[in-house]
Structure 1
Amino acid sequence: MSEQGSSPEIIPPAGREPVFLLPGAVTAMIGVLVAIHLASTLALNPDGMLQLMFWFAFQPLRIVAATADPMLGVPLLWTPFSHALLHGSWDHLVFNAVWFAIFATPVTRRYGSGAMLAIFMVSAAAGAAFFAATSLYTGAYLIGASGGVSGLTGAAVRFVFQPVIVAVDPETGRRVVVGRKLAGLREMWSDGRTRSFVLIWVALNAAVPLLPMFTGAEVAVAWQAHLGGFIAGILLVGLFERRS
């Protein structure tokens, strides 16, 4: 809920509780992710899966290849976004779906489904850009919703830790909860809970490339996409805040 306005919330009559408490857009998006992974798992053979990744995963090497043959770069028009709809395993999908449900829900309730999807997709593209900046010549490819979900995390962290705003209804004189303030960038740093969340989240992702030094094995986590998406979400959410 936005903090704008001061009219009391209308409470509907008591009735049957909904089975799913997630906003419709959040449930629908999770359904799309599950349907795509289920269809690709059941319908595609190994060659078909390779073609799916070739055309819809984000591959930074295409940027280099496009300098020699522009046609090789055509999928770059959609793969910064389409990669967020693909997953490498059911574990990968379930983790991202749970993460998506947690952070997309408050963003959707505050700004609506259109804003939530915009933040998700733009953050996915920002995550792809960060991924490309660090893996341009490696031949690696990026799939998964985590960059977009990281953007929703960054968006939510700007208001979920803020105090509740209470206004007085001009007609009844009753005190009414109207929402939470969207913290500015300086306010995020001055608030202890927000600052701790951001620092821990950034530190955990920044530590991923150091793990092979201790485990001796590569970790298949696109930490660059997480960081890029998170920063994008923090910056983007202000565009959707209603001003009085």
Structure 2
Amino acid sequence: MLSSTATVVQMPPSQSHRNNGLVLGVCLDQLMQHQQQQQQENHSRSAPTKTLEEEQKSTAKEQQLTSRQTRCWPPPCFILLVSLLEIFVFLYVGSAPPEDSLLIYRPDRRLQLWRFVSYALLHASWLHLGFNVVTQLLYGLPLELIHGSGRTAIIYGAGVLAGSLGTSVVDSTVYLVGASGGVYALLAAQLANVLLNFGHMRQGVAQLLAVIIFVSCDLGYTLYSRQLALVEYPSSAISVSYIAHMTGALAGLSVGLCLLRQLDGTLRPRLLRWLALGVWAIFSGFAFAFNLINTVTAQLLAEREGEVIKQHLLHDLGMQR
């Protein structure tokens, strides 16, 4: 008898199915490779553009800094005019100006307010005049070329005013002549300029050392001359006012930090600006109040003394009631 057996035969996949799977895999690989190539091309196109823009901005910034440091227009007219005016006044008045001059600073003439500034036009000798004029030309002209005549004039005037105000508080019995307060304000303003623009200056360290060495030498000479005048020439009326130098430098540094521009165009730190402005405001306010109180007190004492003298005179004449 023939027995029936069930046989299961597994058929291999057809050739067409194999070809379809292979074609699909190749297409996916090509699509992914194409996307990667497009991303690389886009990145390679955008990177040079960004680098070029950064280079253009950096070049423009460097050109702006260079133009600000080397510009010659407008010309530095303020320092030149002040120097010429001081020379002309010296030629007209001469050395050792008289005590009754309308320009000299006198503590007993505080109500004549122009004396707090006009004393800078007078000088005690040719050496005094020459030193101040040469120094303010050396340090004032570069400062004025970079930051303008207006800022330089304000700094110079603040130094001159601070010199007389400081002297009126500390050395309230001396008369004052010379532009040393304004000169030291320019020196301190150079220091402020270095502090604000040190990273953008070609020789920032050299300029900083030049200012420090010059100020140290001149301050030492000032103190030595003052001591020499007190010890060997106690009767001499001419001596060096170190207070005018120091207060002028304080004014130049504080006002310079407030006014001088930063060469890269960025804003200075607000804390630094307010701190410098506060120092100058406190000093000026105290000095003005001191002079006002002293002036009023002196006037009241003079009136009381005059009334006492008048009463004594009337008593001696037998006219007192």
How does the TM-score come out when normalised to structure 2? 0.50
1:55 maps to a residue whose letter is L
Does the alignment pair 1:123 with 2:159? yes
Deviation digits for residues 104-126 of structure 1, max 9, x if unmatched? 12221222111111111111111
- Aligned residue pairs: how many? 191
Compute the displacement of 1:231 (Å). Answer: 1.0
Distance in 2, matches of 1:192 and 1:95, equals 20
Judged with a 3 Å threshold, the aligned counterparts in structure 2 of structure 1 residues 164 and 106 are, in CA distance, closer, same or farther, namely: farther
1:165 maps to a residue whose letter is H
2:116 maps to a residue whose letter is P
Contact 1:106-1:156 within 8 A present in 2 as well: no
Partner SS state of residue 127, structure 1: helix
Alignment of 1:22-101 (within 5 A): 23-41=76-94, 50=98, 53-62=100-109, 73-75=110-112, 77-101=113-137
Compute the displacement of 1:78 (Å). Answer: 0.9
Deviation digits for residues 74-102 of structure 1, max 9, x if unmatched? 31x11111001111222221111011111
Q: CA RMSD in A?
A: 3.6
Judged with a 3 Å threshold, the aligned counterparts in structure 2 of structure 1 residues 116 and 194 are, in CA distance, closer, same or farther, namely: closer
Judged with a 3 Å threshold, the aligned counterparts in structure 2 of structure 1 residues 97 and 61 are, in CA distance, closer, same or farther, namely: same
* Match among 176, 180, 188 for residue 154 of structure 1: 188
More helix by share: 2
Distance in 2, matches of 1:93 and 1:38, equals 11
More strand by share: 1
Identity rate, percent: 25
* Match among 253, 256, 266 for residue 237 of structure 1: 256
Q: Which runs of 5+ in 2 are unaligned?
A: 1-59, 268-321
Judged with a 3 Å threshold, the aligned counterparts in structure 2 of structure 1 residues 102 and 194 are, in CA distance, closer, same or farther, namely: closer
Judged with a 3 Å threshold, the aligned counterparts in structure 2 of structure 1 residues 128 and 109 are, in CA distance, closer, same or farther, namely: same
Does the alignment pair 1:222 with 2:241? yes
Distance in 1, matches of 2:116 and 2:190, equals 22
Distance in 1, matches of 2:138 and 2:123, equals 19
Contact 1:205-1:227 within 8 A present in 2 as well: no
Distance in 2, matches of 1:105 and 1:41, equals 26
Contact 2:226-2:241 within 8 A present in 1 as well: no
1:113 aligned partner: 149
